[in-house]
Structure 1
């Protein structure tokens, strides 16, 4: 049997992932989160700081983060403490909290950004009526992690989605809570997403006294 023209061996064609690290991206550690915040603050990048803080709190996929509108975040002239969005991938709503650091940077950014409740919170550089693209968002995340000395191949936009979820699981061991926070339809998806294994289960069990 022969090879198709799409197989890597055909004319020494390299696979799309040759030399790349594949698999789940790592969540950020708390010290990494604060390092990125300090970097963005020092550089005066208010939009990026607001985007970063929102991504960490929301635990949303990149496609949902960039499409958030001002009205999703603001109510009565203030940043909401909780809000809800419908996920593009699943079509299911998911709620999340917006804690104080994020509320502070978001209100500063939105006051500078201006616009109406129907406008995107993070507009495109090319078309201000459109939202920031997921590709540009990915470039920004890569720039942030590299700036604080993290290996770019280990982190991406999904790192921001996983960061708070991984921390909640580490502190509580409550998979059901993390499932709801991430908007997963099945608990098995959450288990795979967090990389939960027998060592995690045993560590949680050992820390539980009767």
Structure 2
């Protein structure tokens, strides 16, 4: 998902596969991973109340990052908004519920390992070599598309909530 053309094709391909398979949870997770640019540990810890108000998914959300203990704001696009709302409705989730609950009783939310397995499955489903992609690829996808269009490294630094520009460059 690094080159702009291949990134767009990859995103489109995965999204189309998930839509065709009617996999409401994975579609919501995929779309939100792209839009939010959150690390896996933060994406899996999202609660319904973090992205919705009064039963409606919001177009902008703020979330406190686990690693940096700093808030990060992100836009939830229309497509993501609809897929997340459909997932919340299908599962009957309440505001205090985790957005992606675990299927295991021992864990309240999806593990980062399970999320990583999902990413690998999504990538493999469109015929790409899954070892070349991971959860951090999902985090960087939207930022890399924006950088390729604008060449604005500072904007990408802000999007990814990096404190050091060197981290963004890497």
Give 2:94's aligned residue.
116
Count, aligned residues: 168
Q: Does 1:134 align with 2:104?
A: no
Q: What is the alpha-carbon distance in structure 1 between the residues aligned to residue 149 and residue 14 of structure 2? A: 22
**2:36 pairs with one of 51, 55, 58:** 58
Give 1:31's aligned residue.
9
Give 1:94's aligned residue.
72
TM-score (norm 2): 0.94
Q: What is the alpha-carbon distance in structure 1 between the residues aligned to residue 70 and residue 123 of structure 2? A: 30
Q: What is the alpha-carbon distance in structure 2 between the residues aligned to residue 108 and residue 115 of structure 1? A: 11
1:130-150 Cα deviation digits (max 9, x unpaired): 010000000000000000011
Q: What is the alpha-carbon distance in structure 1 between the residues aligned to residue 93 and residue 82 of structure 2? A: 18
**Alpha-carbon deviation of 1:26?**
4.4
Q: Secondary structure at the match of 2:127?
A: coil
**Alpha-carbon deviation of 1:115?**
2.8
TM-score (norm 1): 0.77
Q: Secondary structure at the match of 2:63?
A: strand
**Alpha-carbon deviation of 1:129?**
6.8
Q: What is the alpha-carbon distance in structure 2 between the residues aligned to residue 115 and residue 46 of structure 1? A: 13
Give 2:158's aligned residue.
180
Greater helix share, structure number: 2
Q: What is the alpha-carbon distance in structure 1 between the residues aligned to residue 107 and residue 125 of structure 2? A: 30
Q: What is the alpha-carbon distance in structure 1 between the residues aligned to residue 168 and residue 148 of structure 2? A: 13
Moved more, 140-149 or 121-130: 121-130
Q: What is the alpha-carbon distance in structure 2 between the residues aligned to residue 189 and residue 156 of structure 1? A: 18
Whichever of the two has the greater Rg, that structure is 1
Q: What is the alpha-carbon distance in structure 2 between the residues aligned to residue 180 and residue 118 of structure 1? A: 28
CA RMSD of superposed structures (Å)? 1.5
Q: What is the alpha-carbon distance in structure 1 between the residues aligned to residue 54 and residue 155 of structure 2? A: 29
Q: Secondary structure at the match of 2:100?
A: coil
Instruction: List structure 1 runs of 4+ shifted beyond 6 angstroms.
Output: none
Q: What is the alpha-carbon distance in structure 2 between the residues aligned to residue 95 and residue 128 of structure 1? A: 30
Q: Does 1:155 align with 2:133?
A: yes
Q: What is the alpha-carbon distance in structure 1 between the residues aligned to residue 157 and residue 62 of structure 2? A: 15
Please list every run of 5 or more consecutive structure 2 residues that lacks an aligned counterpart in the other structure: none
Is this contact kept in 1: 2:42–2:66, CA < 8 A? yes
